[in-house]
Amino acid sequence: MFRIGQSTDIHRLEKGRKLILGGVEIEHEQGLLGHSDADCLLHAISEAILGALALGDLGSHFPDNDPRYKDADSLMLLHEVVQMMKARQYAIGNIDALILIERPKMAPHIKKMRGNIAGACECSMDQVSVKATRGEKLGFIGHEEGAAAQAIVLLEKKEG
């Protein structure tokens, strides 16, 4: 049995915050604003997994009014979601994700992001695709007001 989930996550860019995407801290004058580390890529992947399992959204499991999740490492949140997935006897088939950010360039960081995601999801890197695109100076992405990520996951029921 297969299940598919998809999600989009958006965060505002702000000075004085770290830019963390895919569990990688990236040098930049702005970072993503959120209750946790605001890693929109990992949030989109986590929520896509939850969606595939019909378990609601990320906020219902890790509410932004809960002090336990203040500045939380999103790799840890993804790991917890993966444990929920495994408890239901599913495994990652594949993940296809897209980062939307005007700058900085993501290409130098994508391999490390894929490795972080594969590690947290207990799958191989060849099951994880991460791509990036710019806003071409259009909209909130292009005007560098925020960043977004989209993810689609395929889960496979494990035998036994």
Q: Tell whether 9 is in a known binding site.
A: yes
* Helices (H) then strands (E): counts for the chain: 5, 7
pLDDT at 99: 98
Q: pLDDT tens, 62-79?
A: 988 888 888 889 999 999
Average pLDDT, the chain: 96
Q: Tell whether 112 is in a known binding site.
A: no
Q: pLDDT tens, 92-120?
A: 999 999 999 999 999 999 999 999 999 99
User: What letter does residue 144 receive in the DSSP assignment?
Assistant: T
Q: Tell whether 62 is in a known binding site.
A: yes
pLDDT at 160: 66
Q: Tell whether 143 is in a known binding site.
A: yes
Kindly state the helix (H) or strand (E) to which residue 58 belongs, with its residue range: helix 58-61
Q: Tell whether 51 is in a known binding site.
A: no
Determine the Cα–Cα distance for residues 129 and 117; give it in Å rounded to an integer: 10
Q: Tell whether 95 is in a known binding site.
A: no
Q: Tell whether 125 is in a known binding site.
A: no
Q: Tell whether 43 is in a known binding site.
A: yes
- Rounded mean pLDDT of 34-40? 94
Q: Tell whether 36 is in a known binding site.
A: yes
Spell out the residues 6+ positions from residue 73 whose beta carbon is closer than 8 angstroms to its own.
Answer: 23, 36, 37
Is the pLDDT assigned to residue 158 strictly greater than 80?
Answer: yes
